[in-house]
Amino acid sequence: MRIVLMGPPGAGKGTQAKVIANHFGIPAISTGDIFRANVAGKTPLGVEAQRYMDAGEYVPDEVTNSMVRDRLAQPDAEPGFLLDGYPRTLAQVQELDSMLADAEQQLDAAVVLTADQDELVARLLSRAETEGRADDTEDVIRHRQEVYAKETAPLIEVYGERGLVISVDGMGEIDAVTHRIFDALENLPG
């Protein structure tokens, strides 16, 4: 199973990624985890990424793409993977297409967790309070939601045109959302 997992901040992607990956026996690959591993390991890509992060800048696509390519080339990703946080741009979709073509593989699904924006804001405000994230104000959270919607809509459209999008209601109990995802994946054609 080769899956891209998308959804707005607070939709539960990280939680669901672990459960889905475990169920299918594939690695859950998050760009945040890849960055941290490369930075901690002081790899050439990690050193380069650290330069941008220290300056408060986005890590350029070329660096992110190289890290993802390296990660997908590892043996545990051979039978499949779940990508969380990648691709985020149309250029990254094209790069992922190239990576998969080089490996003679293709995506099975783009799972999109959907959620009511006001409920997500409430969920994230609660999490910010619990975890002491003072910088997660309602304005900041709403801005991140808007950025996600603007940046991700074109990706969902591309994957939709390919017949890969599976929209799943991401609200409710974790187990209920997980069951909805598994039901949708089990009903994939082929």
The helix/strand/coil state of 134 is coil
Write down the pLDDT at residue 56: 73
Query: Which of 13, 71, 123, 180 does the annotation list as catalytic?
Result: 13
Q: Which CB contacts under 8 angstroms, 24+ apart, belong to 119-125?
A: 119/171, 120/8, 120/9, 120/10, 120/11, 120/145, 121/10, 121/145, 123/10, 124/9, 124/10
Based on the residue annotation, tell me whether 13 is a catalytic residue of this protein: yes
Based on the residue annotation, tell me whether 133 is a catalytic residue of this protein: yes
Q: What is the tens place of the pLDDT at every residue in 1-10? A: 999 999 988 8
Based on the residue annotation, tell me whether 42 is a catalytic residue of this protein: no
Q: Which two tokens stand for residue 15?
A: 């939680």
Query: Which of 18, 69, 88, 142 does the annotation list as catalytic?
Result: 88
Token pair 């990508």 is found at 83
Question: What's the CA gap between 172 and 90, in Å, rounded?
Answer: 30
Write down the pLDDT at residue 9: 85
Residues counted in the chain: 190
Write down the pLDDT at residue 50: 87
Based on the residue annotation, tell me whether 88 is a catalytic residue of this protein: yes
Q: Which two tokens stand for residue 163?
A: 């017949």
CATH of domain 2-186: 3.40.50.300
Write down the pLDDT at residue 190: 60
Report the relative pairing of strands 109-114 and 81-84 from DSSP bridges: unpaired
Residue ranges of the chain with per-residue pLDDT less than 50: none
Query: Which of 18, 69, 142, 144 does the annotation list as catalytic?
Result: 144
DSSP 8-class letter at 9: T
Query: Which of 69, 133, 150, 180 does the annotation list as catalytic?
Result: 133
